[in-house]
Amino acid sequence: MPPSPPQHRILFSEPIIAGRIEQLARVIGGDLPSGFAPVVIGLLTGSFVFVADLVRALARGGVQPQVDFLGVGHYGEATQSSGMVTVYKNLRVDVRGRPVLLVDDIADSGLSLHAARAHVLAQHPLWLRTCVLLNKPARRTAEVATDYVGFEVPDVWLIGYGLDAGGQGRALPYIAILESDQSTT
């Protein structure tokens, strides 16, 4: 038997997420500098579901971005911010002189987004903004701009829609609060 997802309680349903992503895509589509080929960069791994839905919502509004993924990780304890970040999967797309939207599932300590943003900035994009589906400001240790936010969330561990707890729960179609005590990635 494959492992079943850990016990959870739904926080944001599929239609609520879908509706919010349509709104975000409209705003982002209006803000992107026109006349340039935009790039959406997803942070691995948790953003993959959000990126898939966000780029298709952007496409419905006439924006067809190129897509790439960047892997940044913290050294040390996964749920604590050690302050040390490493790039384990680099970009393949050349972002120089192009509008870039950096996308993650959730901003928690902010370290991943902060490091990813610095990494992309060093490659001289024309324009760079960040977009997170979820913002958990209670645990922020790195100051980083979250330019587009889907939902503000409290300091709880969330699973589903790409987010996991110990590798489980990413395929759930909604976002849920983990009820058992398994808050590790």
Among 103, 163, 175, 176, binds ligand IMP (CB under 6 A): 163
55, 64, 90 from 165: Cα distances, Å: 25, 32, 24
Smallest gap, in angstroms, from Cβ of residue 105 to Mg ion?
6
108 has catalytic annotation:
yes
Smallest gap, in angstroms, from Cβ of residue 52 to Mg ion?
15
Q: Rule CB under 6 A: say whether 158 interacts with ligand IMP.
A: yes
Token pair for 70: 């960047």
Among 29, 38, 46, 65, binds ligand IMP (CB under 6 A): 46
Q: Which of 108, 147, 164, 181 is catalytic?
A: 108
Handedness of CA 59, 64, 66, 71 (dihedral sign): negative
Closest CA to 7 of 166, 185, 178, 155: 178
Q: Which helix (H) or strand (E) holds 26?
A: helix 14-31
Q: Produce one character per residue of 58-75: b if its CB has 16 or more CB atoms within 10 Å, e if not.
A: beeeebebbebbbbbbbe
Among the listed ranges 11-19, 31-39, 56-64, 99-107, the one in contact with ligand IMP (CB under 6 A) is 99-107
Q: Rule CB under 6 A: say whether 107 interacts with ligand IMP.
A: yes
Residues that bind ligand IMP (CB under 6 A): 43, 46, 81, 104-113, 136, 157-158, 163-164, 185
Give the active site residues: 108
